[in-house]
Structure 1
Amino acid sequence: MSACMWRTANSALSIGRLDQILQPLLAKEMARVKTDKGREEVVKRTIELVGSFFLKLNDHDPLMPSVGNKLFGGSSSDDTVTVGGVTREGENAVNDMSYIILKTAEMLCFQDPNLNARYYEGINSPEYLRRLAEVNINMVASPSIHNDKAMIDALVHQDIPIEDARDWGVTGCVEPTIVGRHYGHTNCMLVNMVAALEMALNNGVHPVMGDLIGPRTGEAAADFSTYEDFLAAYKTQLKYLCDMSVEINNYLGKSHQFIHPTPVLSAMSTGPMENGKDLIDGGAMYNTSGVAMVSLTDVVDSLMVIKKLIYEQKALDFPALLDALARDFEGDANVVHARVNRIPKFGSGDEEAISIAQDLIDFCYDVYIPQKNYRGGAYWPGFWSISYHVGFGMLSGALPSGRKRGKAFTPGLTPAPGSAEQVLPNIRSVAALNHLKMPNNIAFNVKLAPHAGDSHSKTLDYFSSYLQSYFELGGMQWQFNVLTTDMLKDAMDHPEDYRWLIVRISGYNAYFVKLNRNMQEELIERTEFLS
Structure 2
Amino acid sequence: MELLFRVNDKTSTEIWNLCIKCLSNGCGSPLFMNETLIMNNMVEFGYEREDVWNLGTSACWEPLVIGKSSCQNNPFKSIVLCDSLYRVLKKGRDFYSFQSLLLAVKNDLAIEVPLVIEDLNYDYSPLMSLFDSDCLNKGKDFSHKGTKYMYQGVQLLGLPNLVNSLLNIKKYVFDRHLITLDDCLNAIANNYEGYEDLRLLFLGTSDEKFGSTSAEVLDVCNQLIECVSHAIEPLRANGNAVKFGLSSPAYLFQSVGSPATLDGRKSGEPYAVHISPISSSIDINEILRFAGRLNYPYNCLNGNVVDFIIPLSYQKQPEKLVSIIRDAFSHGLFQLQLNMLDRQVLVDAKSHPEKYPDLVVRVWGFSAYFNDLPEEYKDNLIARAGIYETA
Report the aligned-residue RMSD: 2.1
RCO (CA 8 Å, sep 6+): is it higher in 1 or 2? Answer: 2
| 2:189 pairs with one of 313, 326, 333 | 326
Residue 284 of structure 1 is aligned with which of 147, 155, 164? Answer: 147
Is the 8 Å Cα contact of residues 280 and 388 (structure 2) preserved in structure 1? no
Structure 1 residue matching 2:156: 3-state secondary structure: strand
Structure 2: which 5+ runs fail to align?
A: none
How big is the shift at 1:435? 3.0
Q: How does 1:195-206 map to 2 (within 5 A)?
A: 195-202=83-90
Cα contact 2:134–2:147 (8 A) shared by 1: yes
Query: Structure 1 residues 201, 506: CA separation in 2 closer, same or farther (over 3 Å shift)?
Result: farther
The aligned runs of 1:336-347 (5 Å cut-off) are 336-340=198-202, 341-343=204-206, 344-347=208-211
Measure how far apart 1:502 and its partner are.
1.8
What letter matches 2:369 in structure 1? Y
Paired with 1:183 and 1:140, the residues of 2 have a C-alpha distance of: 28
Contact 1:119 1:146 in 2 (8 A): yes
Q: Does 1:192 align with 2:80?
A: yes
Native 8 Å contact 2:165 2:262 kept in 1:
yes
Name which of 219, 223, 227 aligns with 1:359.
Answer: 223
Give, in whole Å, the separation in 2 of the partners of 1:524 and 1:281. 45
Task: Give 1:128 deviation, angstroms.
Answer: 0.5
Alpha-carbon distance change, 275 to 370 in structure 1, aligned in 2, over 3 angstroms? farther
Opposite residue 151 of structure 1, the aligned amino acid is I
Aligned residue runs from structure 1 range 171-182, under 5 A: 171-182=58-69
2:94 to 219, 223, 241: 223
Instruction: Compute the displacement of 1:274 (Å).
Output: 4.9
Q: Distance in 2 between matches of 1:157 and 1:308?
A: 38
| Inter-partner Cα distance in structure 1 for 2:158 and 2:7 | 27
Tell me, what secondary structure is at the counterpart of 1:378?
Answer: strand
Determine the structure 2 residue equivalent to 1:151.
38
Whether 1:314 aligns to 2:180 is no
Residue 142 of structure 1, CA deviation: 1.4
User: For each residue in 1:459-506, what CA deviation from the matched residue of structure 2 results, as whole angstroms up to 9, or x when unmatched?
Assistant: 211221121121111101111110111111111111122222221223
Name the CA shift for 1:523/1:266 in 2 (closer, same or farther; >3 Å).
same
Alignment of 1:80-159 (within 5 A): 113-122=1-10, 124-159=11-46
The normalised TM-score by structure 1 is: 0.68
1:419-477 CA distances to partner (integer Å, 9 max, x unpaired)? 52x321111111111234421121211111132xx7x5x42112211211211111011
Deviation (angstroms), 1:174: 0.6
User: Which residue does the alignment assign to 1:424?
Assistant: 285
Residues 329, 265 of structure 1: CA spacing in aligned structure 2 closer, same or farther, 3 A cutoff? closer
**1:352 partner letter:** E
Taking the aligned partners of 1:358 and 1:519, their CA distance within structure 2 comes to 29
TM (norm. structure 2) is: 0.92
- Using the aligned pairs only, state the percent identity: 25
* Counterpart position of 2:345: 487
CA deviation after TM superposition for structure 1 residue 244, in Å = 1.4
Q: Is the contact made by 1:181 and 1:284 (CA closer than 8 Å) also made in structure 2? A: yes
Is structure 2 residue 326 aligned with structure 1 residue 464? Answer: no
User: Partners in 2 of 1:525 and 1:417 — Cα distance?
Assistant: 11
The residue identity in structure 1 corresponding to 2:388 is E
Instruction: Give the deviation of 1:270 after TM superposition.
Output: 2.8
1:528 maps to a residue whose letter is Y
Q: Distance in 2 between matches of 1:491 and 1:201?
A: 42
Structure 2 vs 1, CA of residues 342 and 125 (structure 1 numbering), >3 Å: closer, same or farther? Answer: closer
Quick one: distance in 2 between partners of 1:525 and 1:200? Answer: 31
Counting matched residue pairs gives 385
Q: What one-letter code is carried by the residue in structure 1 that aligns with 2:112? A: L
The secondary structure found in structure 1 opposite 2:305 is: coil
Task: Provide, for residues 22-50 of structure 1, a one-character-per-residue CA deviation record: whole Å limited to 9, x for no partner.
Answer: xxxxxxxxxxxxxxxxxxxxxxxxxxxxx
Q: For residues 304-453 of structure 1, what are the structure 2 equivalents within 5 Å?
A: 304-331=167-194, 333-340=195-202, 341-343=204-206, 344-374=208-238, 376-386=239-249, 388-420=250-282, 422-437=283-298, 438-451=300-313
Gaps of 5+ in 1: 1-112, 203-217
Residue identity matched to 2:227? F
SS of residue paired to 1:284: coil
CA distance in 2, matches of 1:448, 1:282: 44
